[in-house]
Structure 1
Amino acid sequence: MSRLSREQWASAALDALSGGGLAAVAVEPLAVRLGTTKGSFYWHFGSREELVEAALQLWRQAGTTSIIERLEAGGASATQRLRQLFTQVFAPQARTDADLALLADAGNPLVASALAEVTEQRLGYIAALFRELGFPPARARRRALLAYSAYLGQLQLLRTAPGLLPKPGPARTAYADDILATLLAGRPEPTE
């Protein structure tokens, strides 16, 4: 049997959290799922809280930081990056289960802190794109809040009434384009 890494434990914890919320992050069931013992867990972590923190860091990296890095590395315009962002987060394969589970567990101090940090990172990035498009800072921040509210609303609809959302494909793309067009309405004219 090979030794499991800290990252493998964190990934398993994030999967458990995504499927069942914070309460699903329990050492013994994770050890069984991973085919190992609790000793492996204690080799990498001093407590369940450390494991949850590692899972939350992995969630932040995979669901926010790496997405921003990919968008920025592509060399696309701000409008194209916004479109790519919307297309990605509104795609059916987008991993939103962790976001939903964490929102449900927002009363936990660890989760609340992670949610606040990630939300600010996401809003800051979206606002920066709107500033790049010529919106003054206050308007850019409001547009970012509106964009993020659309994302959170979609998450809720995916959980409670998925049939209301357009089907994946051209209809879903048109939906994302309509949201983007609404957000870009009133865009300041570029100065030469």
Structure 2
Amino acid sequence: MADRKRARASRLSARDWADAALAAIRDGGLAAVAVEPLAARLGTTKGSFYWHFSGRDALVTAALERWEERETEAVIAEIGQAGTPEERLRRLFRITTAAAAREPDPLELALLADAGHPAVAAAFRRVTHRRIAYLVDLFAEHGCPPAEARQRALLAYTGYLGHAQLARSVPGTLPEGEEARSYLESVLQALLRGGRQAR
């Protein structure tokens, strides 16, 4: 048994620990990130943790970086470079509004509850700036001047946040099925109107 635990500990990566920390945050908030319970969850010892991290704060930082990677960079990578800016914006809206309309993401809700923590606040700032910058780039490629691209990006992002909040707080308010597709199309048409690519 001890040999199996040692073998498992040697195979665990920093990413495994970060993912376990994210699962703990999802289930119990930032306070749930504790080395011994995580070691038990992973079937290993604290020694594996200290192989990868200097302490709990370093693990929290790694977990937040992993969340950024999964929820922002992976989505941007999924959109890719193929197609026109309008096609990429449409893909982005389909992915993000579909995700927002599903069950509330307990991890994001838990992180929002701990948004006063300096590391969490910094992660939300980075994610927000990255997402808006990506939207600015897409609207600029669509033909909008810089100031207008930023305005449209902010409008798109605040619309996304409002959509997600409404889906969480008052389920059933947002349209579904064909009505949802028509609604999303009207939002996209308003955001895309007037760019050089649309002329």
RMSD after superposition: 2.3
CA separation of 1:131 and 1:12: change in aligned 2, threshold 3 A: same
Give identity over the alignment, percent: 50
Q: Does 1:156 align with 2:165?
A: yes
User: What count of residue pairs does the alignment treat as equivalent?
Assistant: 189
Whether the 8 Å contact between 2:30 and 2:114 is mirrored in structure 1 is yes
Q: Which runs of 4+ in 1 moved over 6 A?
A: none
Alignment equivalent of 2:114, drawn from 105, 114, 135: 105
Whether the 8 Å contact between 1:88 and 1:94 is mirrored in structure 2 is no
CA displacement at 1:79 relative to structure 2: 0.7
Q: Which amino acid aligns with 1:143?
A: R
Q: Does 1:55 align with 2:69?
A: no
Whether the 8 Å contact between 2:19 and 2:63 is mirrored in structure 1 is yes
The 1-side partners of 2:33 and 2:16 are apart by 14
Q: Does 1:86 align with 2:93?
A: yes
Unaligned runs of 5+ in 1: none
Matches within 5 A, 1:127-138: 127-138=136-147
CA displacement at 1:18 relative to structure 2: 2.9
Matches within 5 A, 1:6-17: 6-17=14-25
TM-score by length of 1: 0.86
Q: Does 1:71 align with 2:79?
A: yes
Match of residue 188 from structure 1 = 195
The 2-side partners of 1:19 and 1:82 are apart by 33
Match of residue 181 from structure 2 = 173
Give the helix-richer structure, 1 or 2.
Answer: 2
Match of residue 119 from structure 1 = 128
Larger Rg belongs to: 2
